[in-house]
Structure 1
C-alpha cells in the first residue's frame, strides 16, 4: 500500500476527443511516499520512494460504470 502518495496535476496541456475514452497530456509531480504493508498502513515503511519533479505525462482515461478510470499513463519527457 502507498502511504502519502498524492500526485499533483500542475497543468493539462492537451486533451483528445472522445466519449468513453480520452487521451490527456499533463504535467504532474509527486511528493515522497512510503510503501507500507496493506495490513498495517500506519506501520513502519517497507521503503520510502523519493518525490518526482514536474514531468509531462500522457494519460488515457476510460469511462466505467463507476466513473473515469486510468487505463494507461507514461512519461513523455
Structure 2
C-alpha cells in the first residue's frame, strides 16, 4: 500500500476507509476494526472510557466553535 505521494505505508499503520455512512449531528460512527484493535490492546473498560472522553471533547469543541462564531467567546478562551 502507498500514500497519495507514492511513499510506502508501514503495515498496520493505516486503515482503509469505506464510504461515509449517512449521519445526523452528534451521531458518531466508529470504525469496527479500530474498536476491535483497541479492545485487544487496552481492554473493554478503557475503550469505553476513551470513546466517552472523545465524544465529550468533540461536543465541547463544537460548542466552543459556535460561541466563538457568535462572538460570545474569545477564540483563545
- TM-score calculated relative to the size of structure 1: 0.22
Higher helix share: 2
- TM-score calculated relative to the size of structure 2: 0.22
Identify the structure with bigger relative contact order (alpha carbons < 8 Å, sequence gap 6+). Answer: 1
The structure that has the greater radius of gyration is: 2
Higher strand share: 1
